[in-house]
Structure 1
Amino acid sequence: MSVAVSVVQEIDEYIRTHGGGYRAWYVGIAANPRDRLFNGHCVREHGDLWIYRDAGSDAAARQAESYFLSLGCRGGDGGGSFQTRFVYAYKMALQTRP
């Protein structure tokens, strides 16, 4: 099984377990997912629902991100750089951006 497939499966299972449907979740890619989640999106480390996984490469991360966007998750493609290899997701809440 490829790393990208494993990342998709783990994040998908997390989303399904914690509910709300795909439209209630934001998915993105980052070189530093903790900074992006907690500082960029204002996700609370304790109390909010979030996950990130290392896809191994920017190409694999972009592939996983694209998959979740096609399912209806919020987010946008085209961000990051060649160093961007992490895929993250969080359930949107009142304080999160967006």
Structure 2
Amino acid sequence: MRKTAKEIIADVEEHLTKSNKHYYSDFYVGITNDIERRLFIEHNVEKKSNWWIYRTATNKTVAQSVEEYFLNKGMKGDTGGGTDDSIYVYCYEITNLTKE
């Protein structure tokens, strides 16, 4: 289900409460058009043992606005990535095994 920026931000903020970390800088945020490739292969996030979340935005503009919101809060990542069909917003807890 595609969500608005406000809905995605609320979902991520709620999910953050389930993490042991207390700072936005302990997390990475990004956008992609292929969640499996980007999150679990390229960033090396372990599906079963790492903290992660992703949501589908209504469009790339919405995805970018969510990404920028969390970057401004202090999460790691960068703007300008993705392609025209990058509608997935993802976030994960940075560990010594993940690749930023």
User: Which TM-score band (shorter chain)?
Assistant: over 0.9
Q: CA deviation at 1:17?
A: 2.8
Q: Report the counterpart of residue 11 of structure 1 in structure 2.
A: 12
Deviation per residue, 1:39-90 (Å, 9 max, x gap) = 0100001100000000110000000000000000000000001100010000
Q: TM-score, normalised by structure 1?
A: 0.94
Cα-Cα RMSD = 1.1
Q: Report the counterpart of residue 84 of structure 2 in structure 1.
A: 82
- Structure with greater helix percent: 1
Gapped regions of structure 2 (runs ≥ 5):
none
Aligned length: 97
Question: How many Å separate the matches in 2 of 1:5 and 1:43?
Answer: 25
Identity percentage over the alignment? 32
Q: Report the counterpart of residue 25 of structure 1 in structure 2.
A: 27
Question: How many Å separate the matches in 2 of 1:19 and 1:45?
Answer: 17
Q: CA deviation at 1:19?
A: 3.8
After TM superposition, the runs of 4+ consecutive aligned structure 1 residues lying more than 2 A away are none
Q: TM-score, normalised by structure 2?
A: 0.92
Q: Report the counterpart of residue 73 of structure 1 in structure 2.
A: 75
Q: 1:92 aligns with which of 65, 83, 94?
A: 94
